[in-house]
Chains A and B, each alone.
Chain A
């Protein structure tokens, strides 16, 4: 248990479906992130939220819609996805978006939601 919980762990959806991924953290962190990891590719940062406000959108297509209702919860709403969107979607949190005086800004990741788009 890392303190960051992602549900569902596995999701299969058709291209016309609408689904959502959920992330919850119990660490008292103020920043939350969505990363995407496609097969044989490095992790890609998608979105960053700090105190519920989106601070980073890394040119993510609009078929991915994030929502951060509070500092503990983060959602990724999925709509009309493509098969190439199949990937492991990872949520992470950190105390703040910026590092502290020691240079530390440790991200705690969840176990991920593995998405397959048919």
Chain B
């Protein structure tokens, strides 16, 4: 699976959009980009995934660049409850169960 690189931490004001970047420059054509988040002392929670098209669900939007070398997770209106560690994971669909979590981005949402 391709390695992903994320900034270690980010801050966001409550009510503003949080844009979390992820670099996956070595991603292959059949690898998906998954995003999970982990609120302190809880299990990770699935957010969204995509292959090459932009995706949106009730939690977030995922924007994948045309060359697929990077992506951005967008939380449109961040709240204090969105404070968590966000993990970007590139994984081949055939082994999508074997998620390799990196260190992620710690997002702090402030008043």
Count A/B pairs, Cβ under 8 Å.
64
Q: Is the CB of B96 within 8 A of A103?
A: yes
Stretch in B19-27, B38-46, B59-67, B70-78 with 4+ CB within 8 Å of A? B38-46
Q: Give complex CA distance A33, B95 in Å.
A: 13
Contacts of A112 in B (CB 8 A): 41-43
Which residues of A (96-118) have their CB < 8 Å from a CB of B? 96-99, 103-112, 114
Closest to B51 in A: A103
Q: Chain A interface residue count: which class?
A: 20 to 34
From the candidates A42, A98, A109, name the one contacting B97 in the complex (CB within 8 A): A98
A111 with B42, Cβ < 8 A, contacts A42-B102, A103-B32, A103-B51 known: yes
Question: How many residues of chain B are within 8 Å of chain A by beta carbon?
Answer: 22
A2 within 8 A of B: yes
A105 with B100, Cβ < 8 A, contacts A2-B43, A112-B41 known: no
* Proximity string of chain A (72-113) to chain B, C-beta cutoff 8 Å, 1 when within and 0 when not: 000000000000000010101010111100011111111110
Q: Is the CB of A48 within 8 A of B97?
A: yes
Q: Is the CB of A31 within 8 A of B97?
A: yes
Closest to A31 in B: B97
Contacts of B36 in A (CB 8 A): 107
B-side residues, CB < 8 A to A, are 32, 36, 41-46, 49, 51, 93-104
A-side residues, CB < 8 A to B, are 2, 4, 31, 33, 42-43, 45, 48, 56, 88, 90, 92, 94, 96-99, 103-112, 114
Q: A2-B43, A98-B95 are in contact. List 4 more A-B contacts (CB 8 A).
A: A45-B98, A99-B94, A109-B45, A112-B41
> What are 24 A-B pairs at a CB distance below 8 A?
A2-B43, A2-B45, A31-B97, A42-B102, A42-B103, A43-B44, A45-B99, A88-B41, A96-B97, A98-B93, A98-B94, A98-B95, A98-B97, A99-B93, A99-B94, A103-B32, A104-B49, A104-B96, A106-B46, A106-B49, A107-B97, A110-B43, A112-B42, A112-B43
Q: Which 5 A-B pairs have the closest CB atoms?
A: A109-B43, A105-B96, A99-B96, A99-B93, A43-B101
